[in-house]
Structure 1
């Protein structure tokens, strides 16, 4: 997490600046930083707050932007179901895109071994803790220095670059390359959709295409001569 912390901090800094410059009070900006803790949702909600949009529109927009965490939680379920509910809820609140990506890259599959489970829990907790301190701290600095830092600097783009760098490092198989291409193309093609729904379209398109390809690969492996029972794409080079 230290490697991507500077980009994440720049993103948090500009989010803090944007909240104050949008007309929010310092108290409101601080509460949004600590309680919402979701950069994309905060940046999506800010222009709606400025425009005086109804509360349900703001909440629906933030909900749609954050729906990707449903995918993250579904994947993390096998890693965390042995933990008490309060720990799972706290982990869900603290997990971000970066901490999730770094975690699944370090631990591609869950384990039933107690020592391995403890190692996974410690790694996720460390990344989530550092990420929270980094984001909240940089956002609060942005709130405090809002009148001194112009939004024209565009420092928030550094956070996007950090996410891209991590994402590219994960594209290590043909199926992941296809998923990235399909998601990117779908997001751009549906960019005009309201409430950031192009993000949901991109996720759905990538998942659907990869599921079809994966099942086709499993059927081909099962029907190939000499295929052993239980063999599949995950068991072949």
Structure 2
């Protein structure tokens, strides 16, 4: 059974299913690739303008592959914060991927752990969302793995190409151009569409207030505190709204 789909199909049938699923997945993800590359471009510029060298920036984009975590780590790296603070901040910012992994896990539990680790590395927010929209159920389906690969592999290449271009562009552009602020603008562009309900809005407002009030904390710990308090606030309000709706039918 090719591509890990436990369907009992013949090799020819599995190949046909994989090709069809790949084509469908690629067409689904194609419109997002330009935006992913642009986002990577901005992050690449921000890394260089934050003081990282070109090799360091390339290493970070290849190893981390998480724009929000990269941008959240940059001011901490520039402030020479302890390594545990940098890792803790990146971990908190990327906690959503734990949820993504839990959602994808039932679909690919039959695969070897090395393959699942690789899929986890190349998966991103949009690719997971598009995959789950296409396959909401964890029931086996022909070509399911090929569909996911068609989403995540082009997405990875689009990000890396955009990021590497941004790294070399950032190293060539004079600091007087002020492109270091590009990372902040990119975070705002990503954050605004995610404010989809009152709970998320309250979390953002609280996180912003905490970040301002805790600005004086050493090692930029105010940023980590703001992220944690904002997340807890949003979760509490969401839970409160859910219980209220349940009581009122």
Return the alpha-carbon distance in structure 2 between the equivalents of residues 45 and 59 of structure 1: 8
Return the alpha-carbon distance in structure 1 between the equivalents of residues 30 and 186 of structure 2: 15
Q: 1:125 aligns with which of 136, 140, 149?
A: 149
Offset at residue 161 of structure 1 (A): 4.4
Residues 108-165 of structure 1: CA distance to partner in whole angstroms, max 9, x if unpaired? x2243342xx32x222211111111011111100111112384178487468646766
SS in 2 for 1:4: helix
CA 1:5–1:114 in structure 2 vs 1: closer, same or farther (change >3 Å)? closer
Residues 175-214 of structure 1: CA distance to partner in whole angstroms, max 9, x if unpaired? xx6xx32122222223225344555555555556656766
Give unmatched runs, 5+ long, in structure 2: 1-28, 212-221
Residues 211-236 of structure 1: CA distance to partner in whole angstroms, max 9, x if unpaired? 67667878998xxxxxxxxxxxxxxx
Give the structure with the higher percent helix: 2
Q: 2:74 aligns with which of 46, 50, 56?
A: 46
Do the aligned residues in 1 keep the contact of 2:206 with 2:229 (CA within 8 Å)? no
Aligned to 1:143: 167
Return the alpha-carbon distance in structure 2 between the equivalents of residues 73 and 90 of structure 1: 12
Do the aligned residues in 2 keep the contact of 1:65 with 1:199 (CA within 8 Å)? yes
SS in 2 for 1:145: helix
Return the alpha-carbon distance in structure 1 between the equivalents of residues 182 and 43 of structure 2: 10
CA 1:140–1:75 in structure 2 vs 1: closer, same or farther (change >3 Å)? same
Aligned to 1:70: 98
* 2:82 maps to 1:57: no
Aligned to 2:24: none
TM-score where L is the length of structure 1 = 0.73
Do the aligned residues in 2 keep the contact of 1:11 with 1:159 (CA within 8 Å)? no
Do the aligned residues in 2 keep the contact of 1:8 with 1:135 (CA within 8 Å)? yes
Moved more, 153-162 or 69-78: 153-162
Do the aligned residues in 1 keep the contact of 2:207 with 2:226 (CA within 8 Å)? yes
Offset at residue 97 of structure 1 (A): 1.1
Alignment of 1:1-237 (within 5 A): 1-107=29-135, 109-115=136-142, 118-119=143-144, 121-146=145-170, 147-148=172-173, 150=177, 151=179, 154=182, 157=185, 161=189, 180-191=197-208, 192-193=210-211, 194-201=222-229, 203-204=231-232
Return the alpha-carbon distance in structure 2 between the equivalents of residues 153 and 213 of structure 1: 36
- Stretches of 4+ aligned residues off by more than 4 angstroms: 155-165, 196-221
Residues 57-93 of structure 1: CA distance to partner in whole angstroms, max 9, x if unpaired? 1111111111111111122222121211111111111
Return the alpha-carbon distance in structure 1 between the equivalents of residues 141 and 134 of structure 2: 17
Equivalent residue pairs, number: 206
Return the alpha-carbon distance in structure 2 between the equivalents of residues 13 and 200 of structure 1: 28
- State the Cα RMSD in Å: 3.0
Return the alpha-carbon distance in structure 2 between the equivalents of residues 4 and 126 of structure 1: 13
Give unmatched runs, 5+ long, in structure 1: 169-176, 222-237
Return the alpha-carbon distance in structure 2 between the equivalents of residues 207 and 78 of structure 1: 24
